[in-house]
């Protein structure tokens, strides 16, 4: 009796599947949506260009000779030096490119540190609730009550100045927002039917959380990453401007800092180059973040 019911239902299921070919996955449809939007494509292209530039620079294929004197001190932009030279006669263009490497690496490594922390803590807190949740909430509330720039300054003073300190300082302080979002989302999902079904099938906590819930909320992580990336770039510029960021190599922040002494002489190109480079990448990431949210968030989808 039971066997025949099961057989019938399987036949019905197969038929339904046959008649309705699998609709596009969330990511595939999001991708198609984004490709259709020209401003998103432009933003994506800009990010790709910056990324490639940064990688080439990191591999030593471009802008390795940023410390080389190529002209006179403070030569104005010309055909020979497209963005002019700085106080020591070094090419501002090469410095901007090297600065791109610094900025992108800060964005990348900060995300690499902040996102696992945010996802893990948020997921655990939301899933288990109770005392675990209380502890995580207390922890990130305490952390976010400290003004972030002060915290970053103190971390980089303790660790000694330099790029590594910037990665760690920014990474360790910028996971709170993501953690909050993930926690709320996990709370929402943990009692949904598909999780209960997994539970009924005997899936343990870890499997339910990481195998079932997380993939369903991962779009939040992606959206957040693109916003986190540009925040990190801006923070690095601020830190370097204050003299506690990158040491011994050019960064957009130190270039803007240099400009403090240059503007009175009418030397504007270093400030110009660094701010424009920063402006473009931050704008691109913002557009990309918006587009990702539009495409990935099921609630906004279709509006």
Partner 1 sequence: MFLVLRSSLTWLLLIFVTASCAKKDDYSQKILYERIEQNVKGFDPIHSNDYYSSREVGKVYEGLLEFHYLKRPYTVTPNLAKEMPQVSKNGLTYTFKIIPGVLFHDDECFPGGIGRELVAEDFVYSFKRLADPKLVATGWWLFDEKIKGLNEWRNAQKDTAISDYSASIEGVKALDKYTLQFVLSKPFPQFLYGLAMSFSYVVPKEAVDKYGAEFINHPVGTGPFTLKVYSPQTNKIEYYKNKKFRDKFYPSEGEESDKANGLLADAGKKVPFLDKIVSYIMVEHNPAWLAILKGEIDEFKLPKDNLSQAITDMNGPTEELKSRGIEVVVERALDVTYSGFNTQFELFKNNPKLRQAMSHAYDAGTANELFYHNQGILAQTPIPPGIAGYDENYKNPNVGYDLEKAKKLLAEAGYPGGKGLPEITYDNLSDTLARQMAEFFSNSLAKIGVKIKPIFNTWPEMTKKIDRQSVQLFAISWIADYPDAENFLQLFYGPNASPGSNNSNFNDPAYNALFEKVSKMQDSKERTELYKKLARLGSEQLPWIFGVHRMNLRLKHSWLKNYKATEFKYGIEQYWDIDLEQKKLKKPQL
Cα angle, residue 47 at apex, residues 42 and 52 outer, rounded to 5°: 125
Least separation in angstroms between residue 247's CB and partner 1 is: 7
- Looking at the Cβ atoms of 262 and 297, the one nearer to partner 1 is 262
- Sequence-distant (≥ 6) Cβ neighbours of residue 67 within 8 angstroms: 90
The tokens 């803590």 sit on which residue? Answer: 121
Least separation in angstroms between residue 266's CB and partner 1 is: 8
Helix ranges, the chain (H): 2-19, 26-36, 38-58, 92-128, 130-145, 148-159, 163-173, 176-189, 193-200, 205-206, 214-241, 252-262, 269-296
- Looking at the Cβ atoms of 146 and 261, the one nearer to partner 1 is 261
- Looking at the Cβ atoms of 228 and 251, the one nearer to partner 1 is 251
Least separation in angstroms between residue 154's CB and partner 1 is: 12
Q: Is 161 left (phi over 0), alpha (psi -120 to 50) or beta?
A: beta
- Sequence-distant (≥ 6) Cβ neighbours of residue 72 within 8 angstroms: 85, 89
Q: How many CB atoms lie within 10 A of CB 208?
A: 21
- Looking at the Cβ atoms of 30 and 244, the one nearer to partner 1 is 244
Residue 247 burial class via C-beta count within 10 angstroms: exposed 0-12, middle 13-18, buried 19 and up: middle
Least separation in angstroms between residue 96's CB and partner 1 is: 17
- Looking at the Cβ atoms of 121 and 255, the one nearer to partner 1 is 255
Least separation in angstroms between residue 63's CB and partner 1 is: 17
Residue numbers at the binding site for partner 1 (CB under 8 A): 67, 73, 87-88, 161, 243-244, 247-248, 254, 257-258, 260-261, 264-265
Least separation in angstroms between residue 160's CB and partner 1 is: 8
- Looking at the Cβ atoms of 60 and 248, the one nearer to partner 1 is 248
């Amino acid at each position: 009796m039971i066997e025949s019911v099961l057989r019938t239902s399987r036949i019905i299921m197969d038929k339904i599947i046959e008649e309705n070919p699998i609709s596009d996955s969330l990511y595939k449809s999001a991708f198609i949506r984004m490709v259709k939007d020209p401003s998103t494509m432009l933003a994506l292209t800009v990010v790709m260009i910056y990324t490639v530039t940064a990688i080439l620079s990191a591999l030593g294929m471009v802008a390795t000779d940023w410390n080389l004197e190529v002209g006179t001190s403070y030569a104005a932009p010309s055909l020979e030096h497209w963005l002019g030279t700085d106080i020591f006669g070094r090419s501002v263009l090469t410095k901007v490119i090297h600065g791109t490497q610094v900025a992108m690496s800060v964005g990348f490594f900060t995300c690499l540190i902040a996102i696992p922390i945010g996802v893990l803590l948020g997921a655990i807190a939301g899933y288990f609730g109770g005392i675990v949740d209380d502890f995580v909430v207390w922890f990130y509330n305490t952390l976010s009550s400290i003004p972030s720039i002060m915290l970053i300054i103190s971390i980089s003073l303790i660790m000694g100045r330099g790029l590594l300190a910037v990665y760690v300082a920014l990474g360790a302080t910028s996971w709170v927002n993501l953690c909050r979002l993930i926690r709320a989302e996990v709370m929402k999902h943990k009692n949904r039917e598909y999780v209960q079904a997994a539970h009924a099938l005997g899936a343990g906590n870890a499997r339910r959380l990481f195998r079932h819930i997380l993939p369903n909320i991962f779009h939040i992580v992606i959206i957040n990453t693109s916003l986190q990336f540009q925040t990190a770039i801006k923070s690095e510029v601020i830190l370097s401007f204050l003299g506690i960021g990158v040491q011994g190599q050019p960064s957009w922040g130190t270039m803007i800092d240099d400009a403090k002494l240059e503007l009175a002489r009418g030397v504007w190109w270093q400030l110009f180059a660094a701010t424009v480079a920063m402006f473009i990448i931050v704008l691109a990431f913002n557009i990309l973040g918006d587009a990702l949210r539009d495409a990935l968030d099921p609630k906004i989808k279709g509006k």
